[in-house]
Chain A
Amino acid sequence: MGEVLVITSGKGGVGKTTTTANLGTGLAQLGKKVVVIDADIGLRNLDVVLGLENRIVYDLVDVVEGTCRLKQALIKDKRYPELFLLPAAQTRDKNAVSPEQMKALNDELKEIFDYVLVDCPAGIEQGFRNAISGADKAVVVTTPEISAVRDADRIIGLLEAAELRNPKLIINRLKIDMVRRGDMMNIEDMLDILAIDLLGVVPDDQAIVISTNRGEPVADGSMSQAGQAFRNIARRITGEEVPFLDLDLQDNLVHRLKKILGFAK
């Protein structure tokens, strides 16, 4: 029996889709059977990030409406035979699916897969309610910006209200040099405010843009910091204890912060 993880953020553009694609890839690398679901109906994107956009014939709405069988809509990844994508419909809207239908779908998928990752749409409306329906755990993605953290806080509240207790936090796009100058909130600041467990920190990395351009997730063998960070997060999801990345070897401040947090000696 697998596990359904919803990846959410509230605010748009913080990297939910990139995170979903990379965690899917990272988990598949570890030999897990994974399906990533694009729950952003009407604004699908996970397919292009994974480079699978030209293989889509059926989508989530087709499955839910019974136009096709579930297996027909699942798209096998180019690189990992155990990684699958269930794409969103592009020409429908959020109301094409109900939370009950999503739950039934997730229940069916977790019989087959070790991990079901749901890429949640931005916002807190119907699309969000659909995406979290049937999820066992939640991952909240935020960036060190005041607006993203505020929305993350709101989302954490909504998740808890929906009985999704103890969501885990991923801090994305941390700019080490700005943190060092004191011009960006650091890990400690955000954990202080949001008061949830940290699942991982992904540094701001140009490799993300390049890999997205190519449709190859950065976690796929890339030596980049972001790729390493995503692979580590994937391992943490499987329950492995992985030390947090030393994001800047020359930077004592980050090291000091980690010491405060107990992540480093």
Chain B
Amino acid sequence: MEENKSVEFKGTGQGLAIRVHLYHENQQIKDIIQQRINENPSFYKGATVADLTCESLSETSKKELEQWLADEYGMIINSKSNGARIKQDEEKNILPRQILKNDSFEENKEYGTKFVEGTLRSGQIIEHPGDVVIIGDVNPGAEISAGGNIVVMGILRGIAHAGIHGKTDAFVAASVLQPTQLRIHQTITRSPDDVLDRSKNPEIAKLKDQIICVEPF
């Protein structure tokens, strides 16, 4: 096994899972981790570590490693063995942002991604200069305005306006895309009046030659 595979980093719903496979000295493991983190420092900085598994290490060495991760990279250690607890809401807010921001939402680093959990109802507005992710439905009359992209993990029935500040390659994606209106930068489109054949599958809307195109993904 190669050295860089001997320490595995994995993003989970609860946070980072770090798994140490080989039998190494504590310092060696630290070096490997350091090397990985330096590849993408902003990604790991302040991240939550949900699980730290290392068969080879003693409980004391593990504690020491956790402490080091916290001190060196500001990581929040939340592994079961550690017993350290962070508040539920902190976990929700901090962690996915960290992971997703650098994973697939490269372009809005400066603003980050706003996560909204729950149904957006009529009259509610979400405004954010970066990307917006809704974990829930967006009902008719609700509105999302984002400087970047909009992703709805649910049914989008309201108004979504992506790229409000001129980002013309912004997209709107939803598990089910049935918006009253879609806007990307200054282009506006609406669903056709005959609402018979609406897709129930995930779709993504992008701007192509000043026209909003919707395609499955």
Binding site for B on A (CB under 8 A): 42, 44, 51, 53-57, 78, 90-91
Contact = CB atoms under 8 A, between A and B. Distances in A.
A217 to B, nearest CB: 15
B184 to A, nearest CB: 14
B123 interface: yes
A42 B190 CA distance: 22
**What DSSP secondary structure best describes chain A's contact surface?**
loop
A54 B191 contact: yes
A54 B143 CA distance: 12
Given A53-B140, A54-B191, A55-B190, A90 B122 contact: yes
Contacts of B122: 90
Contacts of B188: 57
Given A42-B123, A90-B123, A91-B123, A56 B193 contact: no
A140 B179 CA distance: 35
Interface in B89-131: 122-125
B125 A78 contact: no
B183 to A, nearest CB: 8
**What DSSP secondary structure best describes chain B's contact surface?**
loop
Contacts of A56: 180-181
Contacts of A57: 181, 188
12 contacts: A44-B141, A51-B193, A53-B140, A54-B180, A54-B181, A54-B190, A55-B190, A57-B188, A78-B193, A90-B143, A91-B124, A91-B125
A53 B180 contact: yes
Contacts of B140: 53
Interface in B169-217: 180-181, 188, 190-191, 193
Interface string B122-153: 11110000000000000011010000000000
Contacts of B193: 51, 78
Contacts, number: 24
Contacts of B191: 54
A55 B125 CA distance: 18
A42 B124 CA distance: 10
Contacts of B124: 91
A82 to B, nearest CB: 19
Nearest to B192: A54
A163 to B, nearest CB: 33
Counting chain A CB atoms within 10 Å of each CB, the highest count among B140, B141, B143, B181 belongs to B141
Contact of B141 (A51, A55, A78, A90): A90
- 6 shortest A-B CB distances, which residue pairs? A54-B190, A54-B180, A90-B141, A90-B123, A91-B125, A91-B123
Contacts of A55: 181, 190
A91 B141 CA distance: 8
Contacts of B141: 44, 90
Nearest to A93: B123
B181 A91 contact: no
Contacts of A78: 193
B137 to A, nearest CB: 17
